[in-house]
Amino acid sequence: MEAKHDVLIVGAGCAGMRAAIEAHDQGADVALISKIHPVRSHSGAAEGGINAALGNASEDDPEKHAFDTVKGSDYLGDQDAIQVLCDEAPGDVYQLEHWGAVFSRTEDGRIAQRPFGAAGEPRTAYAADITGHVLVHVLYEQVMKRDLQVYEEYFAWQLVEHENRCQGVICWDLLNGGLRTIGAKTVILATGGAGRLYSGTTNAYACTGDGMAMALRLGVPLKDMEMMQFHPTTLSPTGVLITEGCRGEGAYLLNSEGDRFLKDYAPNAMELASRDVISRAEQTEIDEGRGVDGNVLLDLRHLGAEKIIERLHGTRELSMVFAGVDPIHDPIPVRPGAHYHMGGVETDLDGKTALEGLYAAGECACVSVHGANRLGGNALMETITFGKRAGRAAADWALSHTTVTVPEAAEADAKRELDELLDRDDGERPYAIRDEMATTMHENFGVFRREDQMRREGKIIAGLTERYERVVVDDKSDVFNNDLTQALELGFLLQLAACMIEAGIARKESRGAHARPHDFPDRDDENFLRHTLVSWRDDRPELSWEPVRMTKWQPQERKY
Ligand SMILES: Cc1cc2nc3c(=O)[nH]c(=O)nc-3n(C[C@H](O)[C@H](O)[C@H](O)COP(=O)(O)OP(=O)(O)OC[C@H]3O[C@@H](n4cnc5c(N)ncnc54)[C@H](O)[C@@H]3O)c2cc1C
């Protein structure tokens, strides 16, 4: 064992860094592991903002925030978790501000807040359209101020379980090569999302669901894995996100006939309906022949050059660089793309998982505040509030327990497995399997889902998993062997895809991101107001169900 810590955090995005700061401030010895430099974590790509009922733009309070979130989740969110998020959000945002987050301001100097989809009040605090970038830098400054150890460019591959406790992580050292084992009294997974399961996604190459899969392999259940959110405005053809902030500022969505087609789907909320509603509307327009080259158009022109340049500067730049379109003069071609995983490692309100010593927070976790559909601005908030809570709980536990044991056999087994992969000279290259997985997931497990397509995808994934057993890594070297790590990531992704399909087939209703218009077009609260849980047993996903935790909001019809 190389080193040991009280609290070891895998992932250094907003959730991981917020957890690290809190655990340290509780008195624990803390370290972070990240496969990329912390400020390059995908949290930095968040543009639109972070939700807290500060009440700076209207009369708002945590209760309204909670109701919007419950309704937005299509009633699948756990209401106690949502209440925690909304109650703690204002204090947590002011904490970020005091650490130096440069939020955009109102005329009288308070934190500005913009409208976001399905939010009853303008509650999204923002730093122009680079909110995530600002937060990641502020948190990294706090990590540096506390002089926390960061194992940068360490690829976490396996969790160590010993005596029914998680007691460390086995990593591949990207810079120097070789396996490194780091022991810990508690481990917090904060590895982000898994958008790379899909060919059209807003997620970076690093978003491969590693933490979810590592937990799954230790028997920890994943919750609501069928719930992958498709964001309605991703740039064609790259999948780069065009922020919901555009619609918050008043942009229109148009079809090929120049119609604001949302009048037929969400006549009240129009472009500010929730993401699942708009993605389905767009896909329907495209499928029925009213799209423009497989897209619809996001029109900002009426906002005027001054507003676009001041508030949506980054969006303009992305559109010009990646689509050759200047939104001051022309509408932007957009379409739904895989964006956010509402599902993840099941945790309690303090990030604790089913395995002693193992915690999870941020997008890789499912606490669950987003249920079947996440509201824009709530994910960043979740990373901060539940990162903080997981950090505190993990530190508390670590400070009252003393031993860390990593059996030698754990590292020896991992080494044997890795050598077997690296010693293989003949076989298939991983990229072909990865491309096939991502394209077919998009086709068969996308905005709309059909039983026959999901079953077909299940068979495709099973076939790809078999081929994966014979995958060959060409690069045998030690330094920055991305060929190796991408092969390991593919193994994670294939397992997660199998879990998603298992849960998707079982959920015989339409709720939030899981839309089955052909066979089960309606929400079915009688039978499916419950979470899916998937565990890994005998080399395949095994499904069970868990009730939604309700407090005061009974399900109602969602009208926008
Ligand atoms: C383009 C885009 C825009 C968004 N905009 C918004 C927004 O405006 N508002 C909002 O609320 N939400 C937004 N979201 C969602 C939100 O940004 C994310 O859900 C959130 O930032 C995820 O944070 P995280 O800390 O959980 O993970 P990440 O920030 O993705 O961090 C994951 C960390 O885990 C590490 N890691 C992963 N695997 C391993 C491994 N095997 N070994 C070691 N380290 C590993 C990575 O290096 C990284 O440090 C957006 C998402 C996208 C994709």
pLDDT of residue 548: 98
Per-residue pLDDT band for 362 (boundaries 50, 70, 90) equals very high
d(CA 368, CA 115): 23
pLDDT at 47: 86
Residues designated catalytic: 275
Q: H-helix or E-strand containing 499?
A: helix 482-506
Residue 252 pLDDT > 90, yes or no?
yes
Nearest CA to ligand 1 atom 53: 203
Report the helix count and the strand count for the chain, using DSSP H and E. 15, 19
Residue tagged 């507003």 (tokens): 307
* Structure confidence at residue 62 (pLDDT): 98
pLDDT at 401 over 90: no
Mutate to test the pocket of ligand 1, among 21, 43, 86 (most ligand atoms within 8 A of CB): 43
For residue 416, pLDDT beyond 80 = yes
How many angstroms separate the CA atoms of 265 and 141, rounded?
A: 45
pLDDT tens, 293-341? 999 999 999 999 999 998 888 899 999 999 999 999 999 999 999 999 9
pLDDT of residue 26: 98
Q: What is the pLDDT of residues 2-18, one digit of tens each?
A: 789 999 999 999 999 99
Phi/psi-derived region of residue 192, left when phi > 0, alpha when psi is between -120 and 50, beta in every other case: left
pLDDT digits (tens, 9 = 90+) for 169-195: 999 999 999 999 999 999 999 999 999
Cα 401 from chain centre: 31
Query: Buried b / exposed e across 93-104, counting CB within 10 Å, b at 16+?
Result: beebeeeebebb
392 alpha carbon – ligand 1 mean position (Å): 20
Residue 236: the pLDDT is: 80
**Alpha-helix residue ranges (DSSP H) falling in 100-163:** 131-145
Question: What's the length of the chain?
Answer: 560
CB 25 within 8 A of CB 19: no
Q: How far is CA 117 from CA 121, 273, 274, 370, in A?
A: 10, 5, 5, 14
Confidence of residue 97 (pLDDT cuts 50, 70, 90): very high
The Å distance, Cα 386 to ligand 1 centre, comes to 14
> What integer pLDDT is reported at residue 274 of this predicted model?
86
Given a cut of 90, whether residue 435 has pLDDT beyond it is yes
Q: What percent of the chain has pLDDT over 90?
A: 93
* Kind and range of the H or E run holding 384: helix 378-399
Nearest-CA residue for ligand 1 atom 52 is 46
What is the reported pLDDT for 452?
97
- For the stretch 116-151, pLDDT in tens is 888 999 999 999 889 999 999 999 999 999 999 999
pLDDT in tens, 448-485: 999 999 999 999 999 999 999 999 999 999 999 999 99
Q: How far apart are CA 37 and CA 406, in angstroms?
A: 27
CA 338–ligand 1 middle distance (angstroms): 14
Q: Please check whether residue 327 is in contact with residue 357, taking contact to mean a CB–CB distance below 8 angstroms.
A: no
pLDDT value at 560 more than 80: no
Average pLDDT score over residue span 206-223: 98
Q: What's the pLDDT at 167?
A: 97
Q: Which two tokens stand for residue 519?
A: 């066979």
The answer for residues whose C-beta is within 8 angstroms of residue 395's C-beta and 6 or more apart is 6, 7, 22, 23, 24, 26, 27, 28, 30, 186
Confirm if 214 and 156 have CB atoms less than 8 A apart.
yes
Place of tokens 């303009």: 316
Residue 59: Cβ-neighbour burial (10 angstroms; 0-12, 13-18, 19+): exposed
Report in angstroms the alpha-carbon separations of 312 from 47, 126, 144, 307, 319. 9, 11, 31, 7, 11
pLDDT score of 289: 96
Q: How far is the CA of 14 from the centre of ligand 1 (A)?
A: 7
pTM of the model: 0.96
What lies within 8 Å, CB to CB, of 387 at 6+ separation is 14, 15, 16, 17, 18, 19, 22, 190, 361, 362
Q: Average the pLDDT over 358-384 and give the result.
A: 97
pLDDT over 70, % of the chain: 100
The helix/strand/coil state of 240 is: coil
Evaluate whether 14 touches 380 at the Cβ level (below 8 Å).
yes
- Chain-centroid distance of CA 421 in Å reads 29
Phi, psi of 243 (to 5 degrees): -60, 150
Q: 57-79 pLDDT, tens per residue?
A: 999 999 999 999 999 999 999 99
Which atom from ligand 1 is nearest to the alpha carbon of 382? 11
Give residue 447's pLDDT.
95
Q: Pocket around ligand 1: residues whose beta carbon is below 6 Å from it?
A: 10-16, 33-36, 38, 41-43, 45-50, 131-132, 154-156, 190-193, 202-203, 206-207, 210, 241, 339-340, 362-364, 376-380, 383
Average pLDDT, the chain: 96
Integer CA distances (angstroms), 48 to 71, 114, 243, 362, in order = 21, 9, 6, 17
Q: Average the pLDDT over 157-165 and give the result.
A: 97
Query: Per-residue confidence at 491, pLDDT binned at 50, 70, 90?
Result: very high
pLDDT at 21 over 80: yes
DSSP secondary structure letter of residue 28: -
